[in-house]
Amino acid sequence: MGRGRMSQQQFENFTASSLYCGKCKAAMPVRERLLLILPDKEIFDYLCTGCASSVGQREVTAGEKLMAQRAAPRRPRRRAPAQRIQL
């Protein structure tokens, strides 16, 4: 994988932290809400934290979701303590 491809992957999955709200007339912090799950994608709605109006949407395809899961660091699994069996 070349260096150009690696830098491109860093910017494939954006999530917004603030967007312009027409009601508030300012860039406002937003929260992301899962709006719809389809077989090939998920649609998220961005809601203004000031007035709760919808200010945007984001679609995540199944392929993007799979790539994001693979790129995310995995936490090591905790092993259950070994149990001793007494005979």
pLDDT tens-digit map of 28-45: 999 999 999 999 999 999
Distance CA 54, CA 48 (A): 6
Q: Domains in the chain, please, with CATH?
A: 15-71 (2.20.25)
Q: What is the pLDDT of residues 48-69, one digit of tens each?
A: 999 999 999 999 887 777 666 6
Partners of 41 in the beta sheet? 61
Whole-structure pTM value: 0.62
Question: CA triplet 19, 22, 61: central angle to 5 degrees?
Answer: 45
